[in-house]
Structure 1
Amino acid sequence: MDFKTRALVWAGALMMGAISGLFGFANAFSPVGVFNALVPKDGGVTIERNIPFGVHPRQKLDIYRPTNDATGLPVIYFSYGGGWESGDKEEYSFVGRALAARGYVTVIADYRLVPDVVYPDFVADNGLAVQWVTDTIGSYGGDPGRMVLMGHSAGAYNVTMLALDPKFGVDLSNVRAIVGLSGPYDFYPFDVSQSQNAFGDFPQPEQTQPVNLVSRDLPPVFLGHGDKDETVFLRNSVTLAEEMTESGIDVSLQIYEGANHADTLVSMAMPLRWRYRVLDDVLAFLDANAVSGPIS
């Protein structure tokens, strides 16, 4: 590893401490945005930006795809975190590029945020984006019948609820796998401002919790979580995995020793993959479940 690469690696590692609180970070200064701007990214990717999937200004998405002309590629819909009150799709370009460089047409959508909306509207926006993907992604080289729902933090909650609650209208016959990284799945009663603001007025709070909704047949699920996560505690993924296992769902729980809340996200960036094998683990999981590769 040359000096320049070492400098980038250590700069990124130091920056991870700054963004470890990105869940619920609502401020004009975005740690993940700064990280995304500075970190080197994967090449060989074509990006289509700001495609509307609804009428609201926040209902737009970006598509990352390999620069070759391959068709029938598997699709990853990625939902970002931010405590349901912050976030911007362009700040997650390093994720979109990483996945697209490995053969996945990757979609990252903005969605309406608290305080403009509360639950269930931000989840419903993700459902609307997934419907757009189902209807349209074939025009961008993707196979809508081989879709992965993936998210980090609040985004992991979003995609898990899309899978668990039929009211959001996602056709699971198109979904081959679900990937949740550092997600909140069991956080009632609401004891922090983000959950209070997003869910506090919902008349049936227990129905907002994924651990209470595990009754629907699901495709294979990958849950990744750091054991040093002090933003969304590890027990969220452990409890959800236990509930899914009891319901006969094929679930894989990967615990990353020493990882904090941000680590499962930023370690997907090119210079930091040596710290935690999150990207490799996710890709291996998808490969094992016959998601990867173009249609022959």
Structure 2
Amino acid sequence: MFLFRARRPSKPLPVLIFVHGGNWDSGRKGIYDLLGRNFAKKGIITIIPNYTLSPDANYNGMTKQVAAAIKWAKNNVIQYNGNPNQVFITGHSAGGHLAALAVMNPKYGVDAKSISGIILNDAAGLDMKNYLEENPPTAKNNYLTTWTRDPQQWKDASPIYFLNNSTPPFLIYVGDKTYNSIKVANSRFLKALKPFQPDVTEIRINKKHAAMVTQYFNSNSDRFEEIIEFVKLQSK
């Protein structure tokens, strides 16, 4: 786990947990140290955990590890001048799925009301049940290992089915040039979210899927200002 913090804060700072993507079978935290440093320079303590990839783990094992990182943050960030009452979570692609599921599915033991906000960055897997019913899992991309053949598991893996009045506020980004499956899942998720958060909107960015996260390597990206504003709004 990486932790990036600002220098000599005058008060406890908000905390952002970033979960990397990689189609659930690739990716690593070390790619994103620049992202963490850029957020830290702007006054947000950033935690970047790793998780075991498929085929060595399925979605459930991965989500348990992300939930453990959230619990660690809640219990320990005060030691790093972080505010345990201002913990946000974000993720790109598969990381967006794991971030949302760890908070929203109660079986992972995270109190959803204790999370100040969820930021989805071109998130995949928000409705895996719908996707896998139309595209049954095979050995390709380790999907059979990641998702199993069990439709009940697909539903259990889908954040869309755990929306309720306790769901944290969302900030949702989707790339205009991203994969169609991501556009469809985010559209379904937003429609299901609206009864609980009627003011939430999808922010569309004119980028491809990978560029949706690499934009954070540029400290001048508009995303930093938008996310900082979201953090301030939800921390009042």
| Alignment deviations for residues 229-252 of structure 1 (CA, whole Å, 9 cap, x no partner) | 027531222211111112346533
- Provide the rounded CA distance (Å) in 1 between the counterparts of 2:115 and 2:219: 30
- Cα deviations by residue, 1:48-103 (Å, 9 ceiling, x for unpaired): xxxxxxxxxxxxx1100012244411100111101111222111111101111110
- The answer as to whether partners of 1:78 and 1:108 remain within 8 angstroms in 2 is yes
In the alignment, does 2:70 pair up with 1:130? yes
- The amino acid of 2:146's aligned partner reads A
Determine whether 1:219 maps to 2:159: no
Give the deviation of 1:216 after TM superposition.
Answer: 4.8
1:149 aligns with 2:93: no
Q: Which residue of 2 aligns with 1:247?
A: 196
Closer/same/farther in 2, CA of residues 66 and 249 from structure 1, 3 Å limit: same
Q: Which residue among 72, 85, 88 is the counterpart of 2:28? A: 88
What corresponds to 1:140 in structure 2? 80
Matched ranges for 1:254-269 at <5 A: 254-257=203-206, 259-269=207-217
Once residues 198 and 3 of structure 2 are traced to their aligned partners in structure 1, the CA distance between those partners, rounded to angstroms, is: 30
Percent identical residues: 23
Say whether the 8 Å CA contact 1:225–1:256 is kept in structure 2.
yes
For residue 86 of structure 2, give the secondary structure of its aligned residue in structure 1. strand
Counterpart in 2 of 1:270? 218
TM-score when normalising by structure 2: 0.88
Aligned mates of 2:192, 2:169 — CA distance in 1: 14
Partners of 1:220 and 1:125 in 2: how far apart?
22
Q: Is the 8 A contact 2:38 2:219 kept in 1?
A: no
Larger radius of gyration: 1
Aligned-partner Cα distance in 2 for 1:241–1:216: 15
> Partners in 1 of 2:225 and 2:11 — Cα distance?
23
Confirm whether residue 284 of structure 1 aligns to residue 225 of structure 2: no
Aligned length: 227
Q: What displacement does 1:279 show?
A: 2.7
**Amino acid aligned to 1:133:** A
Structure 1 distance, partners of 2:201, 2:151, is 32
Change in 2 beyond 3 A, CA 1:236/1:203 = closer
Gaps of 5+ in 2: none
Q: Residues 254 and 91 from structure 1, CA distance in 2 versus in 1: closer, same or farther, beyond 3 angstroms?
A: same
**Are 1:220 and 1:249, in contact at CA under 8 Å, matched by a contact in 2?**
no
Question: How do 1:174-213 residues align onto structure 2 when only pairs under 5 Å count?
Answer: 174-184=114-124, 185-188=126-129, 189-190=131-132, 191=135, 193-194=140-141, 195-202=143-150, 204=152, 205-213=154-162
Deviations, residues 97-129 of structure 1 (Å, cap 9, x unaligned):
111111011100011111111120100000011
Residues 130 and 249 of structure 1, relative CA distance in 2, 3 Å threshold: farther
Match of 1:251, SS? coil
Partner of 1:19: none
Matches within 5 A, 1:49-128: 61-128=1-68
Higher share in helix = 2
Aligned to 1:230: 179
